[in-house]
Structure formats: structure tokens, C-alpha cells
Chain A
Amino acid sequence: MEQNFIVTAEHGLHARPAAQLVQVAAPFASAIELVTADKAVNLKSMMSVMGVGLASGASFSVRATGDDAQAAVDAIAARLEEQGLARRA
């Protein structure tokens, strides 16, 4: 299960908003990764996610593997859109 996104946040997707995604991702059983042009990081890890910096307009994807993969991706997509951080591509 993989969903592509484009960053819509004016100032990009950086540490503080990215850290919120960890709280959304952590409860799911699936392995969840945030995939950018140059790396894939564990979306359940503050450590990994805080190192992510994506400029406005950059594309990335969220990849989930496991029984609740669809629900996980939906929840993350919902949070990204609610917060005006990114839209589905």
C-alpha cells in the first residue's frame, strides 16, 4: 500500500509538523515508511521523521505494509490534508 503526496505547506514539511505524524502512525500494526527522493524513513520514529525536510511542492510517498495498511495510510493522509501539509498526488 503506497500513496503519493505533494507538500502544500507554504514553509514545507519540517520537523515540528512531521513529528505529529508519528503520533498518528504509532498505533498501527503495519510497518509505515515515509519515502522521499533520497531515502525512506520509519514513520513511527520521531528520530527518523524529525530529520526529514521537504520543501513546498516536493513529492513523497507513505508506504505501509501489514494488515491495517490501508487504514494507516488513510489516517496519515487525513492528518496531512487536515493540517494543510500535503495533498494526495
Chain B
Amino acid sequence: MPDPTLTSAAAPVTLSGVAASPGTGIGPAFLLSAPDLSFDTLTGQDPAAERARLDNALAASRTDLNGVREGARARLGDDAAAIFDAHLLLLDDPELGAAIQETLTGGANAEAAVHGAFEAFIGMFESLDDPYLRERAADLRDLRARVLSHLLGRPLASLGELREPAIVVAHDLTPSDTAGLDPALVRGVVTAVGGRTSHSAIMARGLGLPAVVGVGEAALAGLTRGTPLIVSGDAGTVTVHPDAAALSAAQAAQVAAQAERDRLDALKDREGRTADGLRVELAANIGAPAEVTGALNAGAEGVGLYRTEFLFLGRDDLPGEDEQYRAYRAVLEGMAGRPVIIRTLDIGGDKALPALGLPHEENPFLGFRAIRLCLARPDLFRVQLRALLRASVHGQLRVMFPMIATVQEFLDARAHLDAARAELTAEGVPVAAGIPVGMMVEIPAAAALSEQFARHADFFSVGSNDLIGYAMAADRMNERVANLYQPLNPAVLTLIALTCQGAARHGKWVGVCGEMAGDPLALPLLVGLGVTELSMSAPALLPRREQVLNLNAAQARELAAHALTLSHAAEVEAAVRAAYPDLTPADA
């Protein structure tokens, strides 16, 4: 039976837009309106005083953006985060800055100066034919609203106000809007403007929310808060005031999608084990304690990677020992005795971390970062290690060091951990015994020398994203060379095979915590090479568990051995597809 509160006496109307994110959403409209950022244009102001106000607003905006960027990275990934890199670059733009300063010098208030300078550039970009530039106009509007909201002391309207399930309706969702969105309450997204590559669309797909964008301003004019809607993200339509028939059809579509989810959900409590009995632990990657619930709901058998850097980003100071301890303890307790691998700080010159005053580097990914930084800054490192050890009594902690290139670095890092343990013991603070200490294998040097590393490290976790990048010397964000970023290249598989062989000689285990772990094409190869733990984003866990349960490890070993003899990534892919014809193209 259709829910009577969602049917309506008004005649149904169907709006057409761009199918931006699949799925069917049913619910009342929640109109996200922009805050009142109106202001009076003043003249004869003190330029120095207005400059100071502006600088405060810019600094506050910068802090916001760093935080929003890392939030987006944690929930939505690097592509979503890159939008905020662009915002940060625009915020410091010299031309924009000069235009604002000129108006300030003339005696205008900061609000008028900011508004006017942005307006000129927005107008210019919007008048152009290039869709890329028109999207930048949206960035500028979003950025201007942020700076003005700080100048005026009026917080931006937030989806944080949402308390009931609803379909979010907006002119356009700004990146800042979507960063504050609770996917548990949002049933769908409808916007007046935008296309498949607009921010709203990208973010909705990242969160798995049905979305239809670009339905037009006029089409949305008649909607009010609570108007019943159906969003059909596959068809690109929005039904306003749906009748019983439309509602039944939408519910049937939801039921079918739910049935698929239920089928997978039934596997939630099954131990990760191949059909022929090989144990493969399926764990989740998380960036914050709040993600533990999602991980457990997806059946995570542990946390294979807790990225602690999110504690450090988007702020002007450093998190103290107690603050870190609380975060680590929350994750360990949340996982209730399941293993939790906490990776020590993995940060470098590519991330704005004002408190560290890191110099800009030409090549941050080959530079002073992660364990290199931590070993050079024991003040920073010790605080984190003490916090980890203090938290260790609240669960099953495994400590992991990132970006290890030499055996000496691993030994030095572990010596710091031992020293921190000795300090705590001397202070009478309890610390768990026998905490496994492992390392990331993301630098080819570590894979090449895995046998020597395995004498010391208790486990390895292959950071496949960086390992592929370093092995192929290709940045996948650089579209000119992204084709060289080949997870299935036999060279990459050979490095993983070496890692597994070195580990096996000393009875140590190997996991994978990069995107490869969640890739259905890579999974049989990884298991076949000897990987026994796969850590991935929560949404991938159930489908990959189903795949592991159906996998024959002996067959996977044969396939992997064959893959190592091939020359091309495409041949490896073809071999995997031939062995597992059920992998649909959508699984690629």
C-alpha cells in the first residue's frame, strides 16, 4: 500500500532533468535555500580596518575549506576533495585579491569589495561557452558565499538542519552543502541547474543517492517544504504529487533494489573464507570514529586502515595526546574486539597543516612526508604513539607505519614505539602486551626487500594506490598519464607477489588496503598471490564478501601464477574475465 502521506490531491506532474545518480527516492521535499547574505554598501570606511576584517574572513574560510576538503575526501574520495583544492587556489588568487584591495582602498566596506570583485569574474565565466568554465562560476559563487558569511557572521544554510528523511531540492548543491549532508536522511537530490559532471551529481553518486539535476528553476518554483516527490535517478525524472500508480511503481523499483541489498546483507555475518576454506579477512578503511558504524553494518571483520591524518587536518593547532587517545579508543571500542589497524600520521607537503609549517615541495609524493616527517619530528610522533598505546587496552590494536622505504626506518619507528611504551610503563599507565607492529608496502623498495622487512615487521599492508603510482611512475589524477596507472599490470602484481613471498618465509601475513582490495577483477589475483586480508571502503564489503565465499583459492593461485607470466595489463584482465565469466562489465 502506498504511504497515504505521500499521495496528494494535487495532480501529478513529471519534471525532466538529467539522470545524475541512479536509484529511486521517495519523500517530502526539503528546500535548501541560501542564507541571507545581503549587506549595505558603505563608503568612507577605514581601509586598514576593513582589510583586517577581510583577512579574518579569508582565514576562517581557509580553515573551513581544509576541513570540508578532508571530510569530502574521507566520505567521497579524492575527486570530490579536488574541488576544494580549486577553492583554496581561487581564495588566494592574486587578481581577485587585487580587485578586492582596490575597492577597499577606495573606502568600501569589505562585503562590497568581495561581492563586486567576485561578481566581475563570475559574470565573465558565465558568459563563456566552455562548460568547464561555467562550473568554475559555481565554484566562485560558493566561495563568495562562504567569505561573505564569515564577514557577516551569518552561518551558511546547512543540510545539518535536516532531521527527517527528505528529498533535498536546491538551485544547485554547492560542494560545501553536500559535505554537510547526512546520507542516512537524504532520500534523493533534485537541482534546478547542473549536468552529469556538476558537483551535485558527482557528490550524489559518491554517496549512492538518487539524483536528478538540471530540471530548471521554473519547474521547482511550485515546490514547498513537504511537497511529495519521487526522484527516479535512472530515468532522470521527478514526479511531483505522485498518484497511487506512480508511487506503487517507485516502491516496486525500491523493493527490487532492496532485494539485491538483502541478498548481500544475508552474508554480513559470514566469516570471510573461500569456498575451499582459505581464510580471507574482510576489513574496512575508515578515516574517523564515526565511520565505525557504517563499517560494522557492512559486515567488516576489522578495520584494515584507520587514517589518523583526518584528526590533524582543517585546524590551526595539533591534536593533543588526550584528544588522539579518545579518537583511537572510540574506534577500538566501537569495533568491539575486532582487529583495528591504526596507521600513524601519513601527511606531507601537499596538505595544508599550518601548525607544522611544512615548506612547499616540488614533489611532495617523493618528499618529506609520513614516516620521514615523523622520524624527524619525534615531538609529534611520540604524542601519537603514546595515545595509541594508551588506547591499546580498549581493543585489539595493530600499529602500522606508512611510507617505509628502508629497514632502518622501520626499526627507528618501532624504537620510538618501544620508548613510548617504556615511558608509559614508568608512569604506571597500562598498555596492552603483544601489539602487532606492521608497515605499509607502498614503495617498491619495500616490496623488493620484503624478506628482510618480514624479519622485523609483524604484518604488511599493501597500499596499492601508491604502490601502483610509484611502480608505474604515473599520477592517475594526471589525465595525460592516467592510462599508465594500471592496477593489473604484471609489474604491480609481481611486487605484490614478492611481498607475499617475503612475508611467508617468516610466517607473516599480507593485506591490501588500497582500492585494489575492493576491485572485483583484482580480488582473485590478490588472493591467489597470497593476500589474506582485504581492506576497502564499506560499500564494497558485501559484494566482495560474496565473491570471496564463491572463490576457489587453488584456482585463484593458478590464475595468479599465470598472470605473472603475462606482458600486458589487458592480458591479465582478459585472463581474469575468462576464468570468471560472471564478472559483468559493470564490475570493472
Contact = CB atoms under 8 A, between A and B. Distances in A.
12 contacts: A15-B136, A16-B132, A22-B89, A26-B89, A46-B86, A46-B90, A47-B121, A50-B125, A50-B136, A51-B128, A83-B480, A84-B480
Nearest to B90: A46
A19 B86 CA distance: 9
A66 B478 CA distance: 29
A44 interface: yes
Interface residues of B, number: 19
Interface stretch (B93-101, B284-292, B367-375): B93-101
Nearest to A14: B130
A82 interface: yes
Interface in A1-41: 14-16, 19, 22-23, 26-27
Q: How large is the interface on A (under 10, 10 to 19, 20 to 34, 35 or more residues)?
A: 20 to 34
B124 interface: yes
B133 interface: yes
Nearest to B89: A46
Interface in A46-63: 46-48, 50-51, 53
B90 A15 contact: no
A47 B95 contact: yes
A26 B90 CA distance: 12
B94 A42 contact: yes
A82 B479 CA distance: 12
Interface string B309-341: 000000000000000000000000000000000
Contact of A50 (B133, B362, B480): B133
Given A14-B130, A27-B360, A50-B125, A42 B480 contact: no
B402 to A, nearest CB: 25
Contacts of A65: none
Instruction: Indicate the member of B95, B96, B132 with the most A CB atoms within 10 Å.
Output: B95
A14 B478 CA distance: 16
Interface of A: 14-16, 19, 22-23, 26-27, 42, 44-48, 50-51, 53, 82-84
A19 B85 CA distance: 12
A34 to B, nearest CB: 12
Contacts of A53: 130
Contacts, number: 42
A47 B96 contact: yes
Instruction: Indicate the member of A27, A46, A53 with the most B CB atoms within 10 Å.
Output: A46
Given A23-B89, A27-B360, A44 B94 contact: yes
Contact of A45 (B95, B125, B128, B480): B95
B133 A48 contact: no
Nearest to B120: A47
A11 B395 CA distance: 57
A83 B478 CA distance: 9
Given A15-B130, A27-B360, A46-B89, 18 more contacts: A14-B130, A14-B132, A15-B132, A15-B133, A22-B89, A27-B362, A42-B94, A42-B95, A45-B94, A45-B95, A46-B93, A46-B136, A47-B93, A50-B125, A50-B136, A51-B124, A53-B130, A82-B480
B89 to A, nearest CB: 6
Contacts of A82: 480
Contacts of B86: 19, 46
Contacts of B478: 83
Interface string B104-142: 000000000000000001001100101011001000000
A14 to B, nearest CB: 7
Nearest to B360: A27
Nearest to B124: A51
A48 B130 contact: no
A38 to B, nearest CB: 16
Given A51-B124, A84-B480, A45 B133 contact: no
Nearest to A83: B480
A63 to B, nearest CB: 16
B367 to A, nearest CB: 13
Contacts of A15: 130, 132-133, 136
A16 to B, nearest CB: 5
B232 to A, nearest CB: 32
B542 to A, nearest CB: 37
Given A27-B360, A82-B480, A84-B480, A45 B93 contact: yes
Nearest to A23: B89
Contacts of A48: 95
A45 B130 contact: no
Contacts of A50: 125, 133, 136
